[in-house]
């Protein structure tokens, strides 16, 4: 009888344990469901907030543009305004903007710069480089005297970020975002977004040149070589890769190439690092050049790359 009671107690205990385990599982699943629901609600809230900010930015940007354009006589008459956008048309607006800025008509200059950025230069491929560099530089310089220009740049930057986050294939948006951050001295924002994107994301590659120096400075060599392959960086060091024997060596060219040797060596690509190092020494075999190269190799953790120890 005692044995029977013990068995009964054991069976009862097991049943209770199983029941408690089942209740625990149910409670855990309910908790997880609530957690997922909360995370989804937060994601939807953040999306809605971002969309609302973008709509507000567009309205603010349009208001600034309208106000700036209303404060200055049109650079061209109505007939010219409706004409096809050509290289000469853009050149005229661009020159007019700089002239207005020089003469102190800051609102008028901003209106013309914005026309060049949003309308004119995107229609003329030969202005792509100017649009992402000199035009933005002039707008940032204008902002030193006219803060509305800096507001306009930040609005353009925020629009570009919105485009990046909503279209994985919008490479132009990545270029815009990086270039504007550069003239605003806010490259840290480019790095922050770069780190949010996956290694194979095309937007990450588009921002690569803008963060390359930061990656090297932080010794993130694998990331650096991914965004700036040898094929991509080679045109930036023509004196070393395609030396002209009639021209004397330039130490700044040695520095550019030696930094990339550091990237290659630091990322583990010792074969290509040696090959590029040999090209540097073929271009400039001076003690100064050797010292620059050795400094970069030491920083990469490969001080003996040129002279392997037995």
Asked if 61 and 101 touch (Cβ cutoff 8 Å), the reply is: no
| Same domain assignment for residues 51 and 155 | yes
Examine residue 156 and state whether it is found in any structural domain, yes or no.
yes
Looking at every residue in the chain, the average pLDDT score rounds to 81
| pLDDT surpasses 60 at 11 | no
Reported pTM = 0.66
Examine residue 282 and state whether it is found in any structural domain, yes or no.
yes
What the block records as the tokens of 72 is 């200055």
In percent, the amount of the chain with pLDDT more than 90 equals 55
Domain of residue 158, residue span: 46-164
Give residue-wise pLDDT tens across range 217-266: 999 999 999 988 888 888 888 888 888 888 899 999 999 999 999 999 99
DSSP 247: S
| Same domain assignment for residues 155 and 249 | no
| pLDDT surpasses 50 at 38 | yes
| Same domain assignment for residues 243 and 144 | no
| Same domain assignment for residues 150 and 243 | no
Residue predicted with more confidence, 6 or 141 = 141
| Same domain assignment for residues 71 and 151 | yes
Give me the number of domains the chain comprises: 2
Examine residue 223 and state whether it is found in any structural domain, yes or no.
no
Q: Rounded to whole angstroms, how far apart are CA atoms 264 and 262?
A: 6
The Cα diameter of the chain in Å comes to 111
Q: Rounded to whole angstroms, how far apart are CA atoms 152 and 140?
A: 10
Examine residue 114 and state whether it is found in any structural domain, yes or no.
yes
152 to each of 50, 75, 149, 158, 226, how far by Cα in Å? 18, 20, 5, 10, 33
Q: Rounded to whole angstroms, how far apart are CA atoms 308 and 310?
A: 6
What the block records as the tokens of 59 is 């309205």
260 CB-near residues (< 8 Å, 6+ apart): 228, 230, 233, 237, 276
Q: What's residue 198's pLDDT?
A: 87
DSSP 119: I
Q: Rounded to whole angstroms, how far apart are CA atoms 306 and 281?
A: 11
Examine residue 107 and state whether it is found in any structural domain, yes or no.
yes
| Same domain assignment for residues 154 and 237 | no
Q: What's residue 231's pLDDT?
A: 86
DSSP 116: I
Among 104, 132, 164, the domain boundary falls at 164
Q: Which one, of 114, 108, 115, lies nearest residue 89 by Cα? A: 115
> In angstroms, how far is CA 105 from the centroid of its own chain?
33
Among 136, 164, 192, the domain boundary falls at 164
Q: What's residue 278's pLDDT?
A: 93
| Same domain assignment for residues 153 and 61 | yes
Q: What's residue 170's pLDDT?
A: 84
Asked if 281 and 253 touch (Cβ cutoff 8 Å), the reply is: no
Examine residue 22 and state whether it is found in any structural domain, yes or no.
no
| Same domain assignment for residues 159 and 238 | no
What sign for the dihedral angle of Cα 8, 12, 17, 22? positive
Identify the weakest region by mean pLDDT among 120-134, 138-152, 230-244: 230-244
Give residue-wise pLDDT tens across range 186-199: 999 999 999 998 88
Q: What's residue 306's pLDDT?
A: 84
Examine residue 35 and state whether it is found in any structural domain, yes or no.
no
pLDDT band (50, 70, 90) for residue 161: very high
Q: Rounded to whole angstroms, how far apart are CA atoms 223 and 199?
A: 8
Give residue-wise pLDDT tens across range 40-53: 555 455 555 555 55
Tokens 């330039």 appear where? 250
Residue predicted with more confidence, 160 or 7 = 160
Segment 294-303 mean pLDDT: 95
Examine residue 212 and state whether it is found in any structural domain, yes or no.
no
Backbone angles phi, psi at 107, to 5 degrees: -65, -40
What's the angle, vertex CA 183, arms to CA 197 and CA 124, rounded to 5? 85
Among 113, 131, 164, the domain boundary falls at 164
271 CB-near residues (< 8 Å, 6+ apart): none
């Amino acid at each position: 009888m005692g044995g029977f009671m013990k068995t009964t107690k054991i069976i009862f205990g097991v049943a209770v344990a199983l029941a408690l385990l089942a209740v625990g599982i149910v409670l855990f699943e309910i908790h997880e469901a609530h957690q997922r629901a909360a995370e989804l609600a937060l994601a939807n809230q953040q999306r809605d907030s971002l969309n609302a900010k973008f709509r507000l930015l567009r309205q603010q940007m349009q208001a600034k543009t309208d106000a700036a354009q209303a404060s200055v006589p049109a650079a061209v008459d109505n007939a010219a305004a409706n004409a096809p956008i050509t290289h000469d048309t853009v050149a005229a607006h661009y020159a007019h903007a700089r002239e207005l800025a020089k003469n102190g008509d800051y609102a008028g200059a901003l209106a013309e710069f914005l026309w060049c950025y949003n309308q004119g230069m995107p229609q003329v491929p030969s202005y792509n480089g100017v649009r992402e560099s000199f035009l933005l530089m002039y707008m940032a310089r204008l902002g030193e005297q006219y803060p509305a220009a800096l507001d306009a740049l930040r609005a353009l930057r925020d629009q570009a970020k919105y485009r990046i986050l909503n279209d994985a294939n919008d490479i132009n948006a990545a270029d815009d975002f990086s270039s504007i951050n550069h003239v605003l001295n806010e490259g840290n924002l480019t790095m922050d977004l770069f780190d949010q994107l996956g290694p194979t994301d095309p937007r990450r590659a588009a921002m690569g040149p803008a963060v390359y120096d930061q990656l090297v400075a932080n010794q993130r060599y694998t990331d650096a070589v991914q965004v700036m392959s040898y094929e991509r960086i080679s045109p930036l060091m023509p004196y070393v890769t395609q030396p002209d024997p009639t021209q004397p060596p330039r130490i700044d060219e040695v520095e550019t190439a030696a930094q990339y040797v550091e990237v290659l060596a630091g990322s583990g690509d010792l074969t290509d690092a040696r090959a590029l190092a040999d090209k540097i020494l073929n271009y400039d075999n001076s003690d100064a050049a050797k010292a620059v190269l050795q400094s970069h190799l030491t920083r990469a953790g490969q001080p003996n790359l040129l002279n392997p120890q037995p």
